[in-house]
Amino acid sequence: MPKTPIIVLCLPFSVLLAFIAGCAQVPAGADYDLVIRRGRLLDGTGRPASSGDIAVREGRIAAVGQFPGTGRVEIDAGGMTVAPGFIDVHTHSEDVADLPVAENFLRMGVTTIVTGNCGGSKLDVGEFFAAIVKARVALNVATLIGHNTVRGQVMGGSFARPPTVAELDQMRALVDRAMRDGAVGLSTGLIYLPGTFAKTDEIVELAKVASAHGGIYASHMRNESTRIRDALDELTTIAREARIPAEVSHLKLSGPAAWGRADETIAYLDRARASGLAIAHDQYAYTASSTGIGTLIAAEFREGGNTRYRNRLADPAQKARMIAEMKDSIQRSKRGDYTYAVIASFKADPRLNGRTVPQAAKILRGTDTLDDQIETILDIEARGGAQGVFHGMSEPDLRRFLAHPFTMVASDSGIRRFGEAVPHPRGYGNNARVLGRYVRDLKVIPLEEAVRKMTSLPAQTFRLRNRGELRPGFVADLVVFDPEQVSDPSTYDDPHHYAVGFRDVVVNGVPVIRAGQLTGARPGGPVRLRDDTAPSAAPRRAGIPPDGGGSERNLRATAQSQTAATPPQ
């Protein structure tokens, strides 16, 4: 007689028990592909939770609430909260095809990311999406087209001059191609090269192209400190003249000299919205930012490309000018020195990773005077540069911005390589930190509002159709989590810890995390502007609204109702 094979599951016994308890297999002939039972449902709109089930068929939500029928796979969410998968609209994940699992995002409930922010993106969006499909990514990926990328391609470097008529036409053509290939809008990074040298009218012309396709304008503004009003003036000018919805990337007030201006900043944005502009903002839940150490050096010294920059660093007269400017800048910031700046990743000398600039100066130069700190920064730049973490925002300002109904939760992170360097903890814990620290512990906002900021608000703002709500016909991106257990063990000193409390994550109807363990499934793919098809879904069935609630009108109405319900913070 033939022997019956015995299949051995190589899983820890506790994990196996959890999986069996939470995921029942139902025989073929079931009504749905997946049913999540007995959940506390937060639908993403900001409405209070309700109890019920969710059914999934062909990558879409088929039913919500109470309904007959069974699923081929059934998940018991008793005692847990079920929400739409989180949408992170501000990431730097251009390498997603090389790191297709994106585990740091999945483990904090993120099922869709928007990359290409701060002016930096892949130039060829069509090729980027093709690479994503080939790599079989685990989550959904949308992208902006970056102004810095486009300007650098056409103008050949970081030059402090306006484009010629022909160059501007070439830039328009590249933005147009990207939008036709599915980019969701145009991004700028106006403190970075080469975008910092662009005048407002150049950006307006490119934003008009994105607007013609129904895209958004997302900006890392020219200033996030004492001159934030000027930066907001520019943002609203671009939005008005290009007739495009605009988004402030990582809304913040950086540096002690700017602290305490959250109310006036919010008032400015509210007036702009009242005038008819569609403006939103995203924020990460930390009082430290992260970017290149080179941003501590004025753009004028970095103009012209890396060769010119290195030559200036090696020229005693130019270097003396840099030092003088940096001393003046640190004095104006009311900081005193560079203790607030931490080296996160310096490939040329990993000893410095996790060290403040004064600590690095002491290692490299023996003393940590301000002159030594500046020399250390310039030395790091001469040796290829480093990523930094900058402790520069105030907790009261952070809470005020978070409480505003037009603020989305976004990480400003990339895909983490676990254990590598000492990166900002936001890449592991941002969503968990909001849900744990700011919702459960500090009660800055209620849970249903936090979920709205992670789901329907970003979907509506970026016009990601049929996403961000627990609603029949919407894409079945789902997260099952425990609000009482959610936490962010990742810290500045010890960042490599995944978020806790997210038990199950579903992308396009397919579980990618079950009972806290990766399933190995990679059902994600590209999300194009106004795209109505999930990568693994069948064509839309009759009766599903074509817009999916993602119009500007719905966004404004939702936010107005939230404004009325949100107390001053």
Per-position DSSP letters for 394-455, written without gaps between them? -HHHHHHHHHSTTEEE---B----TTSS---THHHHHHHHIIIIIIIIS-SS-HHHHHHHHT
| 377 vs 370: CA distance, rounded Å | 11
How high is the pLDDT of residue 533? 57
Residues in the chain: 569
How many whole angstroms from its chain centre is CA 538? 28
Per-position DSSP letters for 35-96, written without gaps between them? EEEEEEE--SSSPPPEEEEEEEETTEEEEEES----EEEEEE-TTSEEEEPEEE--B--TTT
Q: Give Cα separations from 166 to 162, 163, 169, 356 (angstroms).
A: 11, 8, 5, 46
Task: State the helix-helix crossing angle for 147-155 and 200-212, rounded to 10 degrees.
Answer: 110
* CB burial string 438-467: b at 16+ within 10 A, e below: bbbeeebbebbbbbbbbbbbbbbbbbbbbb
How high is the pLDDT of residue 157? 79
**Global confidence as pTM:** 0.89
Count of CB atoms situated within 10 Å of the CB of 271: 11
Q: Give Cα separations from 249 to 118, 169, 224, 309, 394 (angstroms).
A: 8, 27, 10, 28, 17
Number of helices and strands in the chain (H, E):
18, 23
Q: Which two tokens stand for residue 143?
A: 């992208």
How high is the pLDDT of residue 158? 79
How many whole angstroms from its chain centre is CA 392? 19
How high is the pLDDT of residue 13? 39
Of the candidates 458, 450, 464, 426, the one whose C-alpha atom is nearest the C-alpha of residue 547 is 464
Per-residue pLDDT 10s for the chain (569 aa) are 333 333 333 444 334 434 434 444 544 579 999 999 999 999 999 999 999 999 999 999 999 999 999 999 999 999 999 999 999 999 999 999 999 999 999 999 999 999 999 999 999 999 999 999 999 999 999 999 999 999 999 998 778 999 999 999 999 999 999 999 999 999 999 999 999 999 999 999 999 999 999 999 999 999 999 999 999 999 999 999 999 999 999 999 999 999 999 999 999 999 999 999 999 999 999 999 999 999 999 999 999 888 899 999 999 999 999 999 999 999 988 899 999 999 999 999 999 999 999 999 999 999 999 999 999 999 999 999 999 999 999 999 999 999 999 999 999 999 999 999 999 999 999 999 999 999 999 999 999 999 999 999 999 999 999 999 999 999 999 999 999 999 999 999 999 999 999 999 999 999 999 999 999 999 999 999 977 654 443 322 222 222 333 333 333 333 333 333 322 22
How high is the pLDDT of residue 334? 87
Q: How far apart are the first and last CA of the chain?
A: 75
| 519 vs 101: CA distance, rounded Å | 11
Of the candidates 461, 405, 448, 451, the one whose C-alpha atom is nearest the C-alpha of residue 110 is 451
| 330 vs 227: CA distance, rounded Å | 15
| 242 vs 236: CA distance, rounded Å | 10
Contacting residues for 224 by C-beta, under 8 A, at least 6 apart: 231, 250, 252, 253, 254, 258
Q: Mind listing the domains of the chain with CATH numbers?
A: 84-287+392-565 (3.20.20.140), 292-391 (no CATH)
How high is the pLDDT of residue 305? 85
| 248 vs 272: CA distance, rounded Å | 13
Of the candidates 303, 301, 306, 319, the one whose C-alpha atom is nearest the C-alpha of residue 383 is 306
Q: Give Cα separations from 221 to 53, 154, 234, 246 (angstroms).
A: 43, 22, 8, 11
Of the candidates 57, 78, 7, the one whose C-alpha atom is nearest the C-alpha of residue 504 is 78
Of the candidates 454, 136, 411, 206, the one whose C-alpha atom is nearest the C-alpha of residue 289 is 411
120 contacts 189 by C-beta, under 8 angstroms: yes
| Secondary element (H or E) of residue 105 | helix 103-106
Of the candidates 204, 194, 58, 25, the one whose C-alpha atom is nearest the C-alpha of residue 118 is 194
Per-position DSSP letters for 135-177, written without gaps between them? HT-SSEEEEPEEHHHHHHHHHSS--SSPPPHHHHHHHHHHHHH
Of the candidates 424, 420, 436, the one whose C-alpha atom is nearest the C-alpha of residue 341 is 424
Count of CB atoms situated within 10 Å of the CB of 267: 11
Contacting residues for 2 by C-beta, under 8 A, at least 6 apart: none
448 contacts 47 by C-beta, under 8 angstroms: yes
